[in-house]
Amino acid sequence: MDNKIKMQARKVDFFYGKTQALKDVNIDIHTNKVTAMIGPSGCGKSTFIRLFNRMNELLPHTSFSGEIFLDGMEINRSSVDAVDIRRRVGMVFQKPNPFPKSIFENISYGLRVNGIKDRGFIEQRVEDSLRKAVIWDEVKDRLNDSALRLSGGQQQRLCIARCLAVENEVILFDEPCASLDPISTAKIEELILELKKDYSIVIVTHNMQQAARVSDYTGFFLLGELIEFGKTQDIFTAPRDKKTEDYITGRFG
Amino acid sequence: MSYSRIKEKIYKWIFTILAFSSLFFLVGIVIVLFKEGIPIFKEVGFLKFMLGRKWYPTHTPPEFGVMPLILGSIWVTIGASLVCIPLGVGSALYLNEIATFRQRQFLKPVIELLASIPSVVYGFFGLVVVTPFLQKLFNLPTGLTALNASLILGVMATPTVCSISEDALSYVPRSFREASFAVGANRWQTLTQVVIPAAGSGISTGIILGMSRAIGETMTVLMVAGGAAVIPHTFLEPVRPMTSAIAAEMGEAPMGGSHYHALFAIALILFLITFLFNIIAEVISRRFRVKLGLSG
């Protein structure tokens, strides 16, 4: 492995009630790289990335064991505040989920809840974030319109901008293109490639071509286990495990 | 036509008639209210009736000014909202955001049970418990006051406010909360800046329907509001809301006389007020469903 490690998962087990969703998962997320998680529906990949920003602890009747590190610090320790972790590790969800507020307020929300009050600073940051998410030109004249009036693809880029505004270090994408058309999908993929200059990125996807196009590393999940993890080109051209090969050649899943 | 086609037609007609019968009753009631209420406006004059400050229907000559009654209703309704908004919205927030599953399973039916207590029981409770308490507390000549009615009506309206607000809160998609947490908001910020605004119109609908319940309630106010048809200056004075005037006086008003028509006119005013409340609630809740992307 040729560069720095941003996040690590060690011996991760996760349960929904009594159902085991993740079994002994170990993974490294590299700094300024895109790491893709692939696998069939229900294999635990979304559950897994939600551990990186402690999102799963909002769900009732779940249990977790193992360790997750961010820059070497275990994030589930009682001395660590989940709010701080989520500030550093942002998330973009499967379905675009803008707040029923204006476009401007959607972006400024993350700044305001983190205690930033300076109006000029907020305005600048909103513009910067919208530019970075390549949606500024489409919305600059209607920042006070409701975000719900944007198209699905625009909403998803708005959600990415909302995430960027808090200046986190890692961005988790949970099937960000699942509900988008091919053109919007292409825009999001371009954006991800652009963002990896500044961020470490984890993306869950059902779309193997997408994983091949955008990622540097790929992990293949099956029934809660990480079957294989490595450089994307190795996984797609010379998988070591028969199950990985069957999946990426479309024999199941 | 075959037997089964005829049967189907009959079923269709039966259910159509059943469904439209409530419209029939509504129209019937409105017609009667107008027909029996209008004569008093002609006799006394609309403005004099609405703004008159004296309600002496049995004097000679009688005075039909409903302002004291309208103000009585407004006072107890405002008082009741001061009670039912914090109680109802607060319990809804607790049930939806804080309570564990088991606390919720226990508390929700208890709050809803409040709605099933007959109003005469509430009135009775107000009469024997709240009245002497208020009388002692404020050293009043009588505990039957606007305050007393407000307290009891507020408790009565609480289940309405609570269950509608609670529904509204639970309709707020989980994705909104997750989005808020994901940018580093804490629970309190998520609740006050995302969840409550998103549920805001639903909560206001609950409040308006609760108020509409309070303004239309009769038995309780008849028993505990004191019944004095004078313009109230503080919550510690007896009042005679519109509903209790109708209930108390209808029996002694000679049918077809001015007093009789005046009471119908009061009923008409009351009907229009609650009708307005319901329309406002409906408009707000429709806007709310559109806002959250639920079906309009």
Segment B119-173, tens digit of pLDDT: 999 999 999 999 999 999 999 999 999 999 999 999 999 999 999 999 999 988 8
The answer to whether A113 contacts B183, with C-beta atoms less than 8 Å apart, is yes
What band does A178 get if pLDDT is binned at 50, 70 and 90? confident
For residue B185, being part of any structural domain is answered with: yes
From chain A, pick out residues whose CB is under 8 angstroms from the CB of B173.
97
Amino acid A1: pLDDT: 46
Q: Which two tokens stand for residue A84?
A: 């701080």
A92 beta partners = A173
Q: Does B186 touch chain A (CB under 8 A)?
A: yes
Strand, helix or coil for residue A161 = helix
The answer to whether B183 contacts A110, with C-beta atoms less than 8 Å apart, is yes
Nearest-CB residue to A83 (from B175, B177, B184): B184
Which of B295, B257, B223 is CA-nearest to residue B64? B257
For residue B43, being part of any structural domain is answered with: no
Measured between alpha carbons, how far is B55 from B48 in angstroms, rounded to an integer?
Answer: 11
For residue B35, being part of any structural domain is answered with: no
For residue B106, being part of any structural domain is answered with: yes
- Helices (H), strands (E): how many in chain A? 10, 10
For residue B5, being part of any structural domain is answered with: no
> Mean pLDDT throughout A163-175?
93
The domains located in chain A, with CATH, are 5-97+168-248 (3.40.50.300)
ipTM: 0.90
Please check whether residue B146 is in contact with residue B237, taking contact to mean a CB–CB distance below 8 angstroms. yes
> Mean pLDDT throughout A224-237?
93
Asked if residue A48 has pLDDT above 80, the reply is yes
What band does A207 get if pLDDT is binned at 50, 70 and 90? confident
Please check whether residue A28 is in contact with residue A5, taking contact to mean a CB–CB distance below 8 angstroms. yes
> Mean pLDDT throughout A51-60?
90
Strand, helix or coil for residue A215 = coil
The answer to whether B184 contacts A97, with C-beta atoms less than 8 Å apart, is no
> Mean pLDDT throughout B185-202?
91
Quick: pLDDT tens for B195-238. Answer: 998 898 889 999 999 999 999 999 999 999 998 999 999 999 99
Q: DSSP per residue over B98-135, as a string?
A: I--HHHHHHHHHHHHHHTTS-HHHHHHHIIIIIHHHHH
The answer to whether A162 contacts B183, with C-beta atoms less than 8 Å apart, is yes
Query: φ, ψ for residue A38 (rounded to 5)?
Result: -120, 170
The answer to whether A100 contacts B189, with C-beta atoms less than 8 Å apart, is no
Distance from the B216 Cα atom to the nearest Cα atom in chain A, whole angstroms: 35
Distance of CA B115 to the CA centre of its chain: 12
Asked if residue A248 has pLDDT above 90, the reply is no
Amino acid B293: pLDDT: 61
Q: Does B187 touch chain A (CB under 8 A)?
A: no
Which of A153, A139, A59 is CA-nearest to residue A106? A139
Strand, helix or coil for residue A222 = strand
For residue B12, being part of any structural domain is answered with: no
Quick: pLDDT tens for B66-102. Answer: 999 999 999 999 999 999 999 999 999 999 988 888 9
Amino acid B149: pLDDT: 96
Strands A225-231 and A89-92: unpaired
Measured between alpha carbons, how far is A140 from A104 in angstroms, rounded to an integer?
Answer: 9
Domain count, chain B: 1
Which of A97, A100, A112, A110 is CA-nearest to residue A146? A100
Amino acid A9: pLDDT: 95
What band does B295 get if pLDDT is binned at 50, 70 and 90? very low
List the alpha helices (DSSP H) in chain A.
45-49, 82-88, 103-113, 119-132, 136-139, 152-165, 182-195, 208-214, 232-237, 242-248
Q: Which two tokens stand for residue A212?
A: 């091949």
Number of A–B residue contacts, CB under 8 Å: 73
Which of A193, A234, A169 is CA-nearest to residue A4? A169
Q: Does B193 touch chain A (CB under 8 A)?
A: yes
Instruction: Please report, for the domain that includes residue B204, its CATH number.
Output: 1.10.3720.10
Measured between alpha carbons, how far is B287 from B192 in angstroms, rounded to an integer?
Answer: 20
Amino acid B68: pLDDT: 95
Quick: pLDDT tens for B236-278. Answer: 999 999 999 999 999 999 998 999 999 999 999 999 999 999 9
Q: How many residues does chain A have?
A: 253
The answer to whether B184 contacts A114, with C-beta atoms less than 8 Å apart, is yes
Which of A57-61, A120-124, A138-142, B289-293 has the least mean pLDDT?
A: B289-293
From chain B, pick out residues whose CB is under 8 angstroms from the CB of A101.
197
For residue B41, being part of any structural domain is answered with: no
For residue B130, being part of any structural domain is answered with: yes
Q: Does A5 touch chain B (CB under 8 A)?
A: no
Query: φ, ψ for residue A188 (rounded to 5)?
Result: -65, -40
Residues spanned by the domain of B94: 55-291
Q: How many residues does chain B have?
A: 296
What band does A253 get if pLDDT is binned at 50, 70 and 90? low
Strand, helix or coil for residue A219 = strand
Measured between alpha carbons, how far is A126 from A135 in angstroms, rounded to an integer?
Answer: 11
Asked if residue B296 has pLDDT above 90, the reply is no
From chain A, pick out residues whose CB is under 8 angstroms from the CB of B185.
83, 109-110, 113
Please check whether residue B220 is in contact with residue B193, taking contact to mean a CB–CB distance below 8 angstroms. no
**pLDDT more than 70, % of chain A:** 98
Measured between alpha carbons, how far is B102 from A29 in angstroms, rounded to an integer?
Answer: 40
> Mean pLDDT throughout B107-116?
92
Nearest-CB residue to A58 (from B173, B181, B197): B181
Measured between alpha carbons, how far is B239 from A32 in angstroms, rounded to an integer?
Answer: 73
Distance from the A73 Cα atom to the nearest Cα atom in chain B, whole angstroms: 18
Strands A217-222 and A225-231: antiparallel
